[in-house]
């Protein structure tokens, strides 16, 4: 995976992101940049379906479960 020049930092294992926009709306392009860096870190064999997928923390309940217990 090739990382765009504007995301490369001062070393091979350092990445930089441009300053965020000050708009009220979230810039979806930021997610694309994060995904490019994530793929560079994880390597070529990474499954893109795992991007921004997180395991549940043990002992934590989700919002729906919390509402059911009240």
Domain spans, the chain: 1-19+27-43
* pLDDT score of 13 more than 80: no
- Return all residues near 43 (Cβ < 8 A) that are at least 6 apart: 1
CB atoms under 10 Å from CB of 6, counted, come to 9
SS3 of 33-66: the string is HHHHHHHHHHCCCCCHHHCCCCCCCCCCCCHHHH
Q: List 15's β-bridge partners, or say none.
A: 8
pLDDT tens sequence across 31-63? 888 898 888 888 878 899 999 888 877 776 666
* pLDDT score of 19 more than 60: yes
């Amino acid at each position: 995976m090739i990382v765009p020049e504007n995301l490369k930092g001062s070393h091979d294992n350092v990445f930089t992101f441009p300053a965020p926009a000050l708009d009220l709306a979230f810039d979806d392009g930021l997610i694309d940049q994060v995904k490019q860096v994530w793929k560079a870190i994880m390597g070529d064999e990474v499954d893109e379906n795992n991007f921004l997928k997180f395991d549940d923390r043990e002992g934590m309940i989700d919002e729906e479960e919390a509402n059911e217990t009240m």
